[in-house]
Amino acid sequence: MKQRVTIADVAKKAGVSATTVSRILNGNYSQTSAETTARVLEAIRELDYRPNALAKGLKQMKTQVIGVILSNLQNPFWLRVLKGIEDTCRKAGYQLMICNSCDDPAIEAEHIKNLQTRNVDGIIVNPTPGNRDLFEQLLATGYPCVFVNRHLPNLAMPGVVMNNIRGASLAVEHLLEGGRQRIAIIAYQGEITTWTERVEGYKTTLLAHGKREQDLLIELVPNRPGAARSAAIRLLKRNPRPDALLSTTNLMTLEILDAIQSLGLRIPEDVALVGYDETMWCKYLNPPLTTVRQPAYEMGEIAAKRIIQLCKGTRRTKLDVTVLEPELVVRESSRPASATPDVGATIAAGTGTSG
């Protein structure tokens, strides 16, 4: 199938060479007279000519496309991140190629190779630990790449992450203040920094408040539908029963809610619940849910700015990691069992950048 209109057609129509047309297209007016420029622009308009991005990309080895690899698009958290990325990229004239790795290193690797094959200018990725070698290679070859939300320990890839330790810490401190004694946490198993750090935040905060190792109630579950629900039920059947649950994920929270409901327990009277990651529906749950709010949009924005900077920079730009701070949104689900509601209050934590 032949392309409708090529630069040659425009050139012929305007009575000039293709080069002249190309120069005008690229805003290089200095070498053409005003009349010629006008004639060419008129021809472009009349033929509704638009340059073939493939040919342009082949020649320049730049495509104005950024690859984005996310672990789970089903999670609304990523939508907000994506929106931040998208808005920023669109403003800068970049198109997105979005891929879903499903947290599977094999799929992720495939996507990375595919994106490179397509000569995307850079890649934003929520990395799985399984492809460390691949990322090391990207870093070594200077291929523009930025991590988002997660990082890989001891890998100097630029990125944007959340302060997960702080997030869990905020939640635990809030529950302690509310008089909760037996706080449990459910998290996914694996070397994913977002998960391990939240558990770490839980642990250090409790220990700092005088709890002992054996008081900790940590339930690690595989990242698979239903696993968190079972774990919650297991926890809630313990004797004595935990009086507070800390979820570490958006979707996990819904499973825990399900578990609590199925056991006929009341929130917050029997057990308090704090979710991780604020969504549009948290406010309307039964009861309204206390959550750790994360600046997702902002994270996407920063990641996009970072990758664009890397794409444009001729020399290797500085490599650093930005850490964004979460805040706690307090609602009824974590209200002290014997207290008046304290709905809508927010404990902020500020935002900052560190190396």
Nearest to 263 by CA among 237, 290, 239, 293: 237
CA distance 117 to 24: 30
Sequence letter at residue 116: Q
Pick the stretch among 22-30, 84-92, 210-218, 253-261 that binds DNA (CB under 7 A): 22-30
| Closest distance of CB 41 from DNA, Å | 12
- Diameter of the chain by CA atoms? 88
Q: Which of 126, 163, 279, 334 binds a copy of itself (CB under 8 A)?
A: 279
| Residue 190 CB, nearest approach to DNA (Å) | 36
Site for DNA in 51-110 (CB under 7 A): 51-52, 55-56, 58-61
Sign of CA dihedral 128, 129, 133, 138: positive
Question: With CB cut-offs between 5 and 8 Å by kind, which of a copy of itself, DNA, none does residue 335 bind?
Answer: none
Asked if 52 touches a copy of itself (CB under 8 A), the answer is: yes
Binders of a copy of itself among residues 78 to 97 (CB under 8 A) are 79-80, 82-83, 86, 95-97
Among DNA, a copy of itself, none, what does residue 279 contact (CB within 5–8 Å per kind)?
a copy of itself
Q: How many residues bind a copy of itself (CB under 8 A)?
A: 49
Label the pairing between strands 244-246 and 159-162.
unpaired
Window 287-306: contact mask with a copy of itself (x via CB under 8 A)? xx------------------
Q: Which residue is it, tokens 């008089």?
A: 179
140 binding a copy of itself? (CB under 8 A): no
The Cα angle at residue 28 between residues 24 and 31, in degrees rounded to 5: 90
Neighbours of 244 (CB within 10 A): 25
Residue with tokens 């920079």: 313
Q: Which residue, among 242, 238, 256, has the nearest Cα to 183 in the 3D structure?
A: 242
Binding region for a copy of itself (CB under 8 A): 1-4, 50-55, 57-58, 61, 63, 65, 73-74, 76, 79-80, 82-83, 86, 95-100, 113-114, 116-119, 141, 251, 254, 257-258, 279-281, 283-288
